[in-house]
Amino acid sequence: MEEHERTVQADLGDTVWPDLGSPDLGSSASMHHMAHPDRAPHDVHDALAPGDLFAVVELAGFPRFLPDSAAADVVSRCSVSQRQMTARAAPAPG
């Protein structure tokens, strides 16, 4: 895949975007982090070649893969594990 993809680190809130060449662009759960989300679609449009596609995915919440009953159990077990790990790493002064 490395020969087909490259990563460009950029602050898309900047006024001027870096040269992206002819990119395939996608955004997943990031538009709400942009400094100017109202301007971003226009900037993306300007970066695309004619006929290119830009896909945006914004969710109302994080996806859930467990039913509520199982999720509560997982959260509870993770909390216990996290407290135990913290206690081992930083025991209480005494």
Q: Over the stretch 51-69, which tens digit does the pLDDT of each residue have?
A: 887 777 777 666 667 777 7
Give pLDDT, residue 51. Answer: 83
Cα separation, 47 vs 44, in Å, equals 5
Give pLDDT, residue 16. Answer: 75
The pairing of beta strand 54-57 with beta strand 25-28: parallel
Cα separation, 92 vs 94, in Å, equals 6
In this structure, the number of other CB atoms found within 10 A of the CB of residue 40 comes to 19
